[in-house]
Structure 1
Amino acid sequence: MLLLAELFLAMSIYVQIPVLRSLFSDTGISSGWETYGLLSFAVGLYLLGGFIEPFFQKYKRNRVCQFSIFMIIVILAGAYFMPEIFFSGIMIGVVALLLGVFYGLAQIVLLSTLIIDTTDSFQRTEANYVISWVLRLALAIGPLAGIAVAVLFAREVLSQSLQLVVSAVLALLAYLFISGVHFPFKAPDEKHVHWSTDRYLLLRGYPLFFTLLLAAIAGGVMVGHFTTASDYAFLLIGLFVALVAERMIFFNGDLKSEAIAGYILLGMACLIQLTRHGEGFSSVVAFLVGNGFGLLTSRYLLFFIKLSRHCERATAQSTYFLAYESGLAVGLAIPYVIGDIQAEAIVALVLVAVGLLLYNFVVHNWYLNNKNR
């Protein structure tokens, strides 16, 4: 049930990716406002993380998640009924910021707390691993769902109003699936705090956070170019191949090899985007992005978990999510700033190259010296 809740919650946001350009062009909004909205969303992801522990002292954990999803639905409904207000000037940033705030809070609670509360202690790493793969797969499934609905209604792309309805329905499904799960009672901590990094940021994991952020930005830049069902289908295939490869090839392999392979595959996608054009090459790029991004980000999750101490698993998971999700949002904003596909591919390639060098020569050795599991 929680896996389905995660899938629908992530899809409610990712379904909007392929229609962002048409959505803003239909409303007459310039690319500057598009960038502003995506960056506001990325900032919003971080704003309530420090208050999770105080929230848990007052409210049930699942209620915090449900309330956050409910607020996402309210925001989407407001945009549907009052588009002239919600899609005007500075309000774009405010709406995107609020979406980021409540989406970030819902995901942090779901990924780092609810999934752990409902899993036996010896299966928690596997649970974190599986639900994070659901998040990755939603990056392709969400846009595919949006495109499928557009085809169903005989449209080239989703209209503004239909896109908001689809997002709200997906968020509602996530809410309902969480409502159907029984969560064990957890007594609140007797120590009252007003703000805490617990379940929010693993500060000593900053080298992993920074290099994952670079990779996620590069991935966001590349995904930002995908507009067709074929692109997202090959992205999904690439992600599935990465999942299979991780279980069959890298399962007992060297920790470093999987991350390096991810960087190389993602870099290859950037190079092909830079030097080759055409529908066939677009599919190859999408496949390589899915394959490389899947391998790389999955390995980083396990790095974060193994870096954490006994009671820091939830904090490690949420730190991973914040780097991953905010990086994607920033990466999606970059094409609106640059506006040239080759220049954007160069930016992504530079980010991948810097991340690879930092990981290979600095971060991996640091991780081996500091891991706790």
Structure 2
Amino acid sequence: MDTQNIPVHVRLWNKHFWLLAMANLLLVMSSYMLIATIPSQMIDRGYSMFQIALVMGVFFIGIYFFGSLSGYLVQRYRRKNVYNLSILLLLAVTGILYYLSNLPFNYLDYTLLVSLRFIQGAFYGLSQLVLLSTLIIDTVEAVHRTEANHAATWFGRFALSLGPLAGIMVCKTINFTSVLLLSCVCLIVSFIFVNLIRFPFRMPSEDLTRFSFDRFLLKGSHWLFVIIALVTSVVGLILSIEHTPRFYGMLMIGFLIAILAERFVFADADLRSEATTGMIVMGIAVLLMITREQESIENVVPILFGLGTGLIGSRFLLFFIKMSDHCQRGTSQSTFLLAWESGIGVGLVLSYGLLNLQHSLILWVSLGILIVSLILYDCFIHSWYIKHKHR
């Protein structure tokens, strides 16, 4: 499967797949609307940049908490039940945050806030791993699974735009507590969508072990993990300094253009061209942010950034799938997810904890990371991938 394009099969887009894709969209939106709005609320309450960095970063650390247990959980218990419980517990934690947000500043314990964000990240990670690496894969035919992975992660990528857009607009027009309520609503609807589907029963494997890398981390994919985390750290850096609805609206347009580019521009292009183009386009967007201040540039930049991010996400996901052996598709999916989320978390921590939210410094660091990533990918990682892929 060395072609760039993914064929579209109408049979994939049935009611069940739409429900699961929308469930993924809402789940990711529930997280990213908080990532876009929590820092501003903490700044208003007088927290330091280091404290904000810890609250943001601990969420992404929490994503790893259930990782080595996820394979055991989905086999020992019904996979939909694992998803349901993780969503309900994530809903409960978000509800506690809603309650605490209504308290005066002196009543909000910082240690409790950090702990809740870690737990929130743990249940968010488990929900994502079960949904993407198990539920979606198990409900489509084998010939459609690559397309299903590709499409489902695109819905998650749309949430990278729609989540902050919804959160920022609600926060500005109403208040932050309403953002938490909206996050809860997204989780409830995601829960309902998944429970509208009947999943077939699967017997657990005979060699069931409690801790394993199954459906968690794909062995031998470390360099792909590194390049994705590097590039998406730039996404995290940019998310930390962009707080306007217009930016995220235009970012969505960039994602849509990326889908069209995948379909018509890169269908028969050289295998490395899509990822290379994505990094270059992201670099151009960052360079425009550094050198230009015209209002028209504010519309162009997020479109370019969305285009580049979309191209990179789609291509590296397919690389992960090709790196996997038989029955490791779910593991490749979860590893891609962890690399993607880890990079964004690192970018946010860098921005708040080390760069002190200084816009010009953040942009120069972002440009530097993209240059290093482009050189590393073109000079080493792509050839390494060609030698080690299994499909």
Bin the TM-score by the shorter chain: over 0.9
2:97 alignment counterpart: 79
Deviates more, 1:354-363 or 1:218-227: 218-227
The alpha-carbon deviation at position 307 of structure 1 amounts to: 0.9
The alpha-carbon deviation at position 80 of structure 1 amounts to: 1.4
Aligned partners of 2:239, 2:281: CA distance in 1, in Å?
14
Kindly provide the amino acid, as one letter, of the partner of residue 139 in structure 1.
Answer: L
2:298 alignment counterpart: 282
1:45 alignment counterpart: 63
Aligned residues of 2:36 and 2:239 also touching (Cα < 8 A): no
Aligned partners of 2:390, 2:40: CA distance in 1, in Å?
47
Kindly provide the amino acid, as one letter, of the partner of residue 22 in structure 2.
Answer: L
Aligned partners of 2:292, 2:107: CA distance in 1, in Å?
39
Aligned residues of 1:140 and 1:233 also touching (Cα < 8 A): yes
The partner residue of 2:210 within 171, 194, 199 is 194
In structure 2, list runs of 5 or more residues that go unmatched: 1-18
2:199 aligned with 1:168, yes or no? no
Kindly provide the amino acid, as one letter, of the partner of residue 303 in structure 1.
Answer: F
Superposed, 1:75-224 pairs within 5 Å as: 75-83=93-101, 84=103, 87-150=108-171, 156=172, 159-224=175-240
1:12-63 C-alpha deviation (Å, 9 max, x unpaired): 0111233233211233322211100111011111111100122123210011
Aligned residues of 2:74 and 2:130 also touching (Cα < 8 A): no
Q: Secondary structure at the match of 1:47?
A: coil
Q: Secondary structure at the match of 2:213?
A: coil
The partner residue of 1:62 within 66, 70, 80 is 80
1:56-108 C-alpha deviation (Å, 9 max, x unpaired): 23210011111111111100111112335995322222111111100001001
Aligned partners of 1:184, 1:86: CA distance in 2, in Å?
47
2:388 alignment counterpart: 370
RMSD: 1.6
Kindly provide the amino acid, as one letter, of the partner of residue 237 in structure 1.
Answer: I
Superposed, 1:213-292 pairs within 5 Å as: 213-292=229-308
2:45 aligned with 1:24, yes or no? no
Aligned partners of 2:300, 2:78: CA distance in 1, in Å?
46
The alignment's TM-score, normalised by the length of structure 2, stands at: 0.91
Task: Give the 3 Å change call, closer, same or farther, for CA 73–236 of structure 1 in structure 2.
Answer: same
The alignment's TM-score, normalised by the length of structure 1, stands at: 0.95
* Percent of residue pairs identical: 38
The partner residue of 2:366 within 324, 337, 348 is 348
Deviation beyond 4 Å, 4+ runs, structure 1: 84-87
In structure 1, list runs of 5 or more residues that go unmatched: 151-155
Aligned partners of 1:88, 1:248: CA distance in 2, in Å?
53
Q: Secondary structure at the match of 2:208?
A: coil
